[in-house]
Structure formats: C-alpha cells, structure tokens
Amino acid sequence: MVGDDMQLRFRFRSLDGPSTIQMLQAMLEGLTQHNEIWMRQHPEVPCCLAHANVEYVDPMLCKDKDFCQVILAADKLLEHGVGTCADMSAYVAAWIRSHLNQPAYVVLEQQYDQYSQPIDQAYHAYVISNGVRYDPSEEVKAGICRCPGGAQ
C-alpha cells in the first residue's frame, strides 16, 4: 500500500542467465511504478540524489548484507540516505515519469571480471529515458547532478 511502511525483500537462488536478469528487471519495474505513485503524491522530492545527501553503497562490499539485500522504495531511500544502484535507478526513473511525464526504464547490465567472465549475480542498474543514459549511482559517487530537463 502506498504510504505505509513497506519493505520489498527478494531472496532467490537461480542459475545466472537471461531468466535471472529478466526477473530482476521485472522486480525493479514494480518498484519504479510504486515510486512513481508515491512521487505523484509528493511532488517536492528532488531529482538529484546527491543534493538529497544520498550515498551509494556497493552491495558486493556492503558490511550489512541484510540491508543491502533490501530494495528501498523512494521514501525509504531518502530517509536512510544510502542505497544501491538499483534503489537509485528505480528512484530516478520514477522521478522522470512522475515529474516530466517521459518514459524511463531501469536497465540491468551484467558485470564481468578482468577475464571477461560474468560475475555471478553481479549487475549494475542505470536509467534510460528518451535514448539518454542516466547513472544515478555514478553521479552520486561523483557528487554531481544531471537531472533530465535541467531540474534539481
């Protein structure tokens, strides 16, 4: 329910491959839609996560594995002030949809090691909107804002 304290927690075991990335993208689309509904009710939320003092946490290096496996909705991301690339991408895609009425989608990209071998269950999330790539976690790490439409 929108507005209630809700945690989305997904635990799964599967072989890596197309079905895993498709399942994760479907979950992130659900989170993006949830965020979009919440943002339409809270239009004051910022586009720029760096200006909102949100920090990036790498789930592969996270000390609190339980926290890093919780996918945060927009309100909890702002409240906690820390999130993964998936949390941030679902936030920014929802912001673009709710504030600019433009299409925006979270894309997951398989991560590879130095030998070009896929890393088991390691993905990076970013946003595509109108052919432009937005990488909220990279922008947060660099302390920059590149909001669509010049918004802050």
Q: Which of 145, 25, 23, 26 is nearest to 92 (CA)?
A: 145
pLDDT band for 16, please (50, 70, 90 cuts): low
Distance, CA of 60 to CA of 96 (rounded, Å): 28
In a domain, 10, yes or no: no
pLDDT at 66: 63
In a domain, 117, yes or no: yes
pLDDT at 24: 85
**Statement: the pTM of the whole predicted model exceeds 0.75:** yes
Q: Which residue has the higher pLDDT, 43 or 3?
A: 43
Q: What is the pLDDT of residues 72-102, one digit of tens each?
A: 899 999 999 999 999 999 999 999 999 999 9
Residue-number span of the structural domain to which 43 is assigned? 16-145
110 bridge partner residues: 123
Task: Please give, one letter per residue, the 3-state secondary structure of the chain.
Answer: CCCCCCCEECCCCCCCCHHHHHHHHHHHHHHHHHHHHHHHHCCCCCCCCCCCCCEECCCCCCCCHHHHCEECCHHHHHHHCEECHHHHHHHHHHHHHHHHCCCCEEEEEEEECCCCCEEEEEEEEEEEECCEEECHHHHHHHCCCCCHHHCC
pLDDT band for 151, please (50, 70, 90 cuts): low
The stretch 137-152 carries a mean pLDDT of 82
Q: Which residue has the higher pLDDT, 116 or 1?
A: 116
Highest mean pLDDT among 13-22, 63-72, 104-113, 140-149: 104-113
In a domain, 77, yes or no: yes
In a domain, 150, yes or no: no
In a domain, 81, yes or no: yes
Residues 6+ apart with CB under 8 A from 110: 21, 118, 119, 122, 123
In a domain, 93, yes or no: yes
The tokens for 89 are: 């991408």
pLDDT at 22: 83
pLDDT at 3: 45
In a domain, 6, yes or no: no
Q: Find out whether 10 and 28 touch, Cβ atoms under 8 Å.
A: no
pLDDT at 1: 40
Q: Which amino acid is it at 22?
A: Q
